[in-house]
Amino acid sequence: MITIFDGAMGTMLQKAGLPPGDCPEAWNLQHRAAITKIHRTYIEHGAQIIETNTFGANRIKLSHYHRERQVDAINAAAVQAARAAAGPSIRIAGSVGPTGKFIAPLGDLGFDLACDVFEEQIRALDCAGVDMILIETIIDIQEMRAALRAAKKATAKPVICQMSFGDDGRTITGTDPQTAAVVLEAMGADIIGVNCSLGPAQLLPVVEQLAAAARCPISAQPNAGMPKLIGGETVFPMQAAEFGQWAPRLAAAGAAYIGGCCGTTPAHIAAAAQAVKGVAVRTRDVPMPILTLTSRTGSVAIPAGAAPVLIGERINPTGRKKLAADIKEGNFSSVKKEALAQIKAGAHILDVNMGVAGIDQTAAMQKAVEELSLLVAAPLSIDTSDARALEAALKAYPGRALINSVSAEPERLRDFLPLAKQYGAAILCLPLSEKGVPETAEERAELIQTIMDAAYAAGLRRQDFLLDGLVMTAATTSGAETLRALRLYRKRFGCPATMGLSNISYGLPGRPLINSTFLALSLASGLDAPILNPYDPAMRDTLAAAAAIMGHDKNGRRYSLQYGGAAAEPAPPANGDLLEQIRHTVVNGEKEAVAPLIRQALAEGRAPMELTDGALTAAMNEIGAAFSAGRCFLPQVLLAAETMREAFLTIKEVLPAQAGHTIGKVVLATVKGDIHDLGKNIVAALMENNGFQVIDLGKDVSADAIVEAVLSEQADIVGLCALMTTTMPQIDRTVALLKKSGCTAKTIVGGAVVTAEYAAQAGADRYAADGVNAVQIAKELL
């Protein structure tokens, strides 16, 4: 039968006289009888589980009322108040709400501190005699992980984990119901559910998704609709009768426990209880125990025998000096670049190894996991042999990670398996023991059995295992045994298999060929999650071909698209006039192609002036015109300018004496008080590549400094820019000061907020709307 929770506590407390702004939990101490009365009312209206008045009774929330030292007393009093109302058939759930802070790195609350805060409250509830713990209204999976970890540490009683989802179906930090279910079930949640934020109608799909993803029972405690503010009061509009009508639908969606959150009253609970009277808990198709890993925002399943799931191996500093040096310096940019590049190359899961000699691996691993979990949605595999580094990574990871790896060595089993259990991680089982490398497939399977037995004893489940075939170099050991091990695993255990492939070719020539051939053989033998370099073209080809052959790529459609010999891009005219080719190269922004053409032209005896006038300037004019007509955009103009620059640099390199020809001298500055300079830099670059000599004074330049530079440089043109209304008046000042100084240089002004009218009023000679326009005007002014 469906079990009924109670409804809102807050609303009832207010009705009982709790003044706004007072600490609701303090009433457990001050007005215990009133709390008991509320519980009793809910029980009389059909609640079978009542929730203690302890939603905010953690020391962070209580500190807002200077009651952070009363955690034990308040929680104990709340349980007593509930117990006083409950008969023998009524169970008491100890309510645990959020701290109101985000866990680092999203916020400033450390994971350990969060665990500690929750553990303190949950111990108090446990000691006072609750029947179960209800962690509720949590909006961030990392806070829920901290609370659940604390609960599992503090009590053996059942733990219900209820998160709040938005109307986009995700929590505020992006977790979807399926991912939440996978993460929380792996960490030992006994019931998973949803409460608050939304009304029953909006919660229905969330309940369905939880029920499809979790094997445990599901709970749902909606609000009484979406709140409205009436006469300064928050009012939940859904009446009890309507609320009750939703209860059977929530049950049909898979909820076994139904109650109410904000705005629900005893009447709502009575209506719900009445509506599901005699309704049995829906028999759900319990999901297969399939290994699933998650990040904060998504899941990746690795079913045995399905399309291969790729584990990218490139976040590993072994043998890579640059990456190792960056990690050592605490610079994780290259780690993050590898992550993005591997995902682009098709990796589904990223292996993270911080094995750099002489560093604090724990700190590096934690930092890498934090940074990567903010950046990518792909789940991580934590590749370390250091238990401390592993724990730091598992704490920091807001999802379900893979531990790479757990061998049959007693120390490893002792240290790693409890961590896997506590943090809900899956394990990569590596058939190695203290006795060394097992030769035969049977020996490997035996070691896998040893690891799995120990893991089951530590509380892990069948869906927590990924089995490694163990790859040795083919130069010394036949790969056939590894392939046999894969087949044996599939038959004996049915769990998905993995392995790092590239070891096979160690010490052999033509490694890509060996690697990709071994990949093909392994896929056919039951390899589900190869650990590989996803950039390797031979591996990618083999994966594409294997997908077509094995039917994961239906009828080879993707394969055909990729390898079907699409018409090659027409090559640019290789012959034809050289000047024409240079012009074409600049217009197209082909920076790498221009230098050889310039060299060739100069070698043929063409004069630099001929190249400049006949090709380069013509090209810039052409792209400038295209820009002005809206046929291309600024990045394309800048690519052309970069190509021009390359061309000029090449001319300078070949004929140093010819450099230095300019058509005019320009002083550029962003005016005082303004620190924007990208726009001004763009103007400078375009001017330079159109033959002007540019003296760039930079940003935040005073009128005096500008006048001094213009006079001393005897500039032909002054370009001034301002980006904000607050700094624009500096243009007026500068122009006036220039005039006063007797300087004859022409002034061009521009910048986001500057207009032609403003320029005229400031006394400037011209207004330029953009960089291309500025170049045209400068040419006109000369």
| Interface with another protein (CB under 8 A) | 139, 166, 172, 196-197, 226-230, 232-235, 262, 333, 336-337, 340-341, 375, 587-590, 622-623, 626, 630-636, 638-642, 645-646, 673-678, 681-682, 685, 724-727, 752-755
Which lies closer to another protein via its Cβ, residue 233 or residue 613?
Answer: 233
Which lies closer to another protein via its Cβ, residue 199 or residue 287?
Answer: 199
Which lies closer to another protein via its Cβ, residue 519 or residue 720?
Answer: 720
The helix-helix angle for 141-154 and 410-423 (nearest 10°) equals 120
468 to 347, 394, 472, 663: CA distances (angstroms): 18, 21, 12, 69
In the complex, what is the shortest distance from the CB of residue 340 to another protein, in angstroms, rounded to a whole number?
5
Asked if 247 and 272 touch (Cβ cutoff 8 Å), the reply is yes
C-alpha 361/C-alpha 367 separation (Å) is 10
Residues facing 500 on adjacent strands: 531
In the complex, what is the shortest distance from the CB of residue 394 to another protein, in angstroms, rounded to a whole number?
24
C-alpha 354/C-alpha 368 separation (Å) is 8
Which lies closer to another protein via its Cβ, residue 625 or residue 655?
Answer: 625
Which lies closer to another protein via its Cβ, residue 196 or residue 240?
Answer: 196
Which lies closer to another protein via its Cβ, residue 139 or residue 597?
Answer: 139
In the complex, what is the shortest distance from the CB of residue 638 to another protein, in angstroms, rounded to a whole number?
4
In the complex, what is the shortest distance from the CB of residue 112 to another protein, in angstroms, rounded to a whole number?
21
In the complex, what is the shortest distance from the CB of residue 701 to another protein, in angstroms, rounded to a whole number?
13
Which lies closer to another protein via its Cβ, residue 233 or residue 610?
Answer: 233
C-alpha 15/C-alpha 32 separation (Å) is 15
Say if residue 476 is exposed, middle or buried (CB neighbours under 10 Å; 0-12, 13-18, 19+).
exposed
In the complex, what is the shortest distance from the CB of residue 633 to another protein, in angstroms, rounded to a whole number?
7
In the complex, what is the shortest distance from the CB of residue 601 to another protein, in angstroms, rounded to a whole number?
21
Q: What is the amino acid identity at position 71?
A: V
C-alpha 119/C-alpha 153 separation (Å) is 7
- Beta-strand ranges (E) seen in 490-582 are 497-500, 529-532
C-alpha 413/C-alpha 719 separation (Å) is 70
Q: What is the DSSP letter of 766?
A: E
Collect all residues with Cβ–Cβ distance below 8 Å to 421 and sequence separation of at least 6: 188, 458, 459, 460
In the complex, what is the shortest distance from the CB of residue 432 to another protein, in angstroms, rounded to a whole number?
36
**Alpha helices (runs of H) in 534-633, residue ranges in sequence order:** 537-550, 557-563, 578-587, 591-603, 608-611, 617-628
Say if residue 611 is exposed, middle or buried (CB neighbours under 10 Å; 0-12, 13-18, 19+).
buried
C-alpha 304/C-alpha 465 separation (Å) is 11
Which lies closer to another protein via its Cβ, residue 517 or residue 755?
Answer: 755
C-alpha 249/C-alpha 244 separation (Å) is 10
Which lies closer to another protein via its Cβ, residue 172 or residue 538?
Answer: 172
Which lies closer to another protein via its Cβ, residue 454 or residue 762?
Answer: 762
Cis peptide before 405 (omega within 30 of 0): yes
Q: Which residues of 21-55 are buried (b: 16+ CB within 10 A; e: fewer)?
A: eebbbbbbbebbebbbebbbbbbebbbbbbbbbbb
In the complex, what is the shortest distance from the CB of residue 696 to another protein, in angstroms, rounded to a whole number?
11
Q: In a 3-state reduction of DSSP, which class is residue 353? A: strand
Residue indicated by tokens 């006109």: 780
In the complex, what is the shortest distance from the CB of residue 258 to another protein, in angstroms, rounded to a whole number?
21
In the complex, what is the shortest distance from the CB of residue 538 to another protein, in angstroms, rounded to a whole number?
23
Q: In a 3-state reduction of DSSP, which class is residue 351? A: strand
Collect all residues with Cβ–Cβ distance below 8 Å to 546 and sequence separation of at least 6: 308, 519, 520, 523, 524, 552
Which lies closer to another protein via its Cβ, residue 341 or residue 659?
Answer: 341
Which lies closer to another protein via its Cβ, residue 3 or residue 142?
Answer: 142
Q: What is the DSSP letter of 373?
A: H
In the complex, what is the shortest distance from the CB of residue 229 to another protein, in angstroms, rounded to a whole number?
4
Within 10 Å of residue 662's Cβ, how many Cβ atoms?
Answer: 13
In the complex, what is the shortest distance from the CB of residue 198 to another protein, in angstroms, rounded to a whole number?
9
Which lies closer to another protein via its Cβ, residue 33 or residue 571?
Answer: 571
